[in-house]
């Protein structure tokens, strides 16, 4: 699957499997929007992404 240049949203991207997914997608050239309740962790992950672009948006989708 071609990821380079794609835009993706990762819910729960500040830790665990979400973080690992965000990192892998960015390494492959995707622009990654990270959604999570943990603002400080989410901002840190977005800033640390390499290869693509990372943005953080605070969001709680628990009751979605």
As to burial, measured by CB atoms within 10 angstroms (0-12 exposed, 13-18 middle, 19+ buried), residue 1 is: exposed
**Which pLDDT does position 58 carry in this prediction?**
97
**Which pLDDT does position 1 carry in this prediction?**
78
**Which pLDDT does position 33 carry in this prediction?**
98
pLDDT tens, position by position, 3-15: 999 999 999 999 9
**Which pLDDT does position 4 carry in this prediction?**
94
Distance CA 23, CA 45 (A): 8
**Which pLDDT does position 17 carry in this prediction?**
98
pLDDT tens, position by position, 14-55: 999 999 999 999 999 999 999 999 899 999 999 999 887 999
């Amino acid at each position: 699957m071609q990821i380079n240049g794609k835009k993706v949203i990762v819910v729960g991207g500040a830790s665990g499997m979400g973080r690992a997914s965000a990192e892998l997608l960015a390494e492959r050239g995707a622009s990654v929007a990270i959604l999570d309740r943990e603002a400080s962790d989410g901002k840190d992950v977005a800033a640390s992404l390499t290869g693509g672009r990372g943005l953080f948006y605070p969001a709680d989708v628990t009751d979605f």
